[in-house]
């Protein structure tokens, strides 16, 4: 489900977002 976030160009921001979830 969070894969779509990592798919975004901003890997750094997405990474932190996934960890926060």
| Structure confidence at residue 3 (pLDDT) | 58
pLDDT digits (tens, 9 = 90+) for 2-20: 555 555 666 666 666 666 5
| Structure confidence at residue 19 (pLDDT) | 61
| Structure confidence at residue 17 (pLDDT) | 61
| Structure confidence at residue 16 (pLDDT) | 60
In the DSSP assignment, the letter for residue 9 is S
| Structure confidence at residue 2 (pLDDT) | 58
3: tokens are 């894969």
| Structure confidence at residue 11 (pLDDT) | 60
CA distances from 14 to 1, 8 (A): 13, 7
Number of residues written out for the chain? 21
């Amino acid at each position: 489900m969070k894969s779509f976030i990592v798919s975004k160009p901003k890997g750094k921001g997405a990474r932190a977002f996934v960890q926060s979830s």
